[in-house]
Structure 1
Amino acid sequence: MTSEPIQTSLSIKLDAKQTLHLRYIAKESAQGPCVFFMHGAVENGKIFYTHTNKGLAPFLARHGYRCYVADLRGRGESKPVICSDAQYGQTEAICEDIPAFINKIQEHSGQFPRFWIAHSWGGVLLNCAFARFPQYIKQVSACAYFGSKRTLVNRHPSKFLKGNVFWSWLGAKYTKKHGYLPAKRLKWGSDDETQKSHAQSVQWVKPNPWVDSDDNFDYGAFLKGKALPPTLHIAGVKDKALAQPVDIERFIKESGIGISELNVYGRRYGHKHNYGHIDMLTHPQATRDQFQDVLNWFARYG
């Protein structure tokens, strides 16, 4: 029996046109707890793994966890890819894609995924899912969010450039021109975004009420006073634009009253590397720093 994790692709037929992709990563005959992974904007599930078993999902799989890494519709290996005809956005990701992934995990493993992990905007989507489907809350033992924030309130110049100029202003122009945001071609990320998804994220990234543009569901109002699963929040010292501690702390405050811990990762805090928004998940030294802390967090609350 190999000690290395084995990877398998699972397909979910969402409707006549859309098929979701879920990557299963686990040791042969593994029976450990299930972990659900959600990527962020202009991304796909590959932020958590490579086919050669690098990344957070294979790391946890080596420790006995059964890992399920999602590709939201149109991203990664989900089909078809995003184009100007794509009419879906964040509301569909929250209300349709995430429940479909959860159902598939239960069908495949016989268990509800007890641990949830997200990168960047993926943490917002998962907390939205907790609000829309509150029955999930008591079924999840713990979460770990890497660089997750909703609003950007830090005042670093790179935040103004990346957030205000590129994402909000230029992004709107590109989506109007192409009918979607060609982020991969622009080298803004590893995947594209639909026009609706981009517009909804632009609305939320400003310090406005956390309300869905489709049906006015108020996520912030629902989560106020709710205790979400214990969540470890991870920030990188070099992540100046997209998720500074002040941004993450604001997200924590509007996500209920559950147990939360925010750790910042960099050499000044005794870590092996000064981590940024992407390499907090991809740097080789992460296995000795934040990955180990995620493992300990899950053990504490599992």
Structure 2
Amino acid sequence: MEIQQESIFYPYKEGHLHLRKIAPVGGKPHLTPFFMLHGSISNGRVFYTKSGKGLACSLAKEGYKVYVLDMPGRGLSTPKIARGVNPSQTEVIREVIPSIQAFILEANPLADKVHWLAHSWGGVLMAATMLRYSELQSQVASFVTFGTKRRVSVKNVHRTVMLDLVWKRLSIPLMKLKGYFPAAGLGIGMDNESFLSLTQTFPWLDGDWVDPEDGFDYGAKLSNANLPPAWFFAAKNDAVLGNPKDVKFTFDELQFKQGQFLILSKHNGNRQDYDHANMLTHADAEYDHFIELKQWYKGLKI
């Protein structure tokens, strides 16, 4: 199916949020649309390319409308992260995700739900939004994540270097010097990260799920939540950013009534032993777990 892409610039504060709309030509307006959210030191390009590759494009070729968000300051959203431009993860939970959800529903009047799909920390932010605003739970048709973990419990050399040394120790003086974390310039991420967004992840990685800005207790909402059908993907070669053990912890913590968890590996029948990024970007993904995922969506009949 032929697809088309366009950029939507949603007004937000002093600038705008960039949404990449990827949709079939002609379209199937009865199909539930998608909302995709990237993780830390990243942007929406993890889901698509201009040439038509990636999971967002793959789903659009099945007839779905897909909206891929660049979080504040990332990708084509403006103003870009810099000294003095310091968006927080709390504002993404409280303002950005609910606003984009409402925008997608308004743009698709035949839909009363939206499929949510996230990579890495984006899944934590989406889950937190559903827990904070319980009315959104009935507006989310499904919740799929790749490499999403809220806590990091795994102990290995990769954790010591990436999390304890770079993420927690070296990033602080660097951010005080630059005003933000220059991940793209250091070659360790697709995009830079703000001081607030980065440091607000620290308490959740090792402790309780409580908002660092206003004290909202997300964990306390878990027992009464009615979360949508879910599928959490982990990758065998993801040593720390989405280690399968930590992804499984997050999956179990959310207490889905209907959910499944899968480690992408040759042992489990996949073409590759994938890692944190290439479970979405590897050329084989299109002919591997993307096929299985699309079949799962069709089975939901939403």
Per-residue CA distance 1:266-290 (angstroms, 9 max, x = gap): 1122111110000000001111222
Contact preservation (8 Å) 1:105, 1:113: no
Of 5, 16, 20 in structure 1, the residue corresponding to residue 17 of structure 2 is 20
Q: CA–CA distance in 1 between the matches of 2:299 and 2:251?
A: 20
Q: Tell me what 2:219 maps to.
A: 220
Q: Tell me what 1:299 maps to.
A: 298
Q: CA–CA distance in 1 between the matches of 2:70 and 2:155?
A: 32
Q: CA–CA distance in 1 between the matches of 2:127 and 2:23?
A: 26
Q: CA–CA distance in 2 between the matches of 1:14 and 1:128?
A: 21
Q: Tell me what 2:191 maps to.
A: 191
Q: Tell me what 1:98 maps to.
A: 97
Contact preservation (8 Å) 1:37, 1:117: yes
Per-residue CA distance 1:45-81 (angstroms, 9 max, x = gap): 0000000010000000011111000011100010110
Contact preservation (8 Å) 2:17, 2:78: yes
What stretches of structure 1 of length at least 5 have no aligned partner? none
Q: CA–CA distance in 2 between the matches of 1:69 and 1:113?
A: 16
* One-letter amino acid of the structure 2 residue matched with residue 28 of structure 1: V
Contact preservation (8 Å) 2:79, 2:85: no
Q: CA–CA distance in 1 between the matches of 2:246 and 2:143?
A: 18
Q: CA–CA distance in 2 between the matches of 1:197 and 1:114?
A: 25
Q: CA–CA distance in 1 between the matches of 2:258 and 2:154?
A: 24
TM-score normalised per structure 2: 0.95
TM-score normalised per structure 1: 0.95
Aligned alpha-carbon RMSD (Å): 1.3
Report matched runs for 1:25-40 at 5 Å.
Answer: 25-30=22-27, 31=29, 32-40=31-39
Q: Secondary structure at the match of 1:79?
A: coil
Deviates more, 1:101-110 or 1:149-158: 101-110
What stretches of structure 2 of length at least 5 have no aligned partner? none
Q: CA deviation at 1:297?
A: 2.2
Q: CA deviation at 1:225?
A: 4.1
Contact preservation (8 Å) 2:35, 2:117: yes
* One-letter amino acid of the structure 2 residue matched with residue 204 of structure 1: W
Q: Tell me what 1:174 maps to.
A: 174
Runs (4 or more) in structure 1 with deviation over 6 Å come to none
Q: CA deviation at 1:99?
A: 1.5
Q: Secondary structure at the match of 1:269?
A: coil
Deviates more, 1:102-111 or 1:36-45: 102-111
Per-residue CA distance 1:10-46 (angstroms, 9 max, x = gap): 111112x121011100111212220110000001000
* One-letter amino acid of the structure 2 residue matched with residue 6 of structure 1: Q
Contact preservation (8 Å) 2:72, 2:78: yes
What's the % identity of the aligned pairs?
35
Deviates more, 1:208-217 or 1:104-113: 104-113
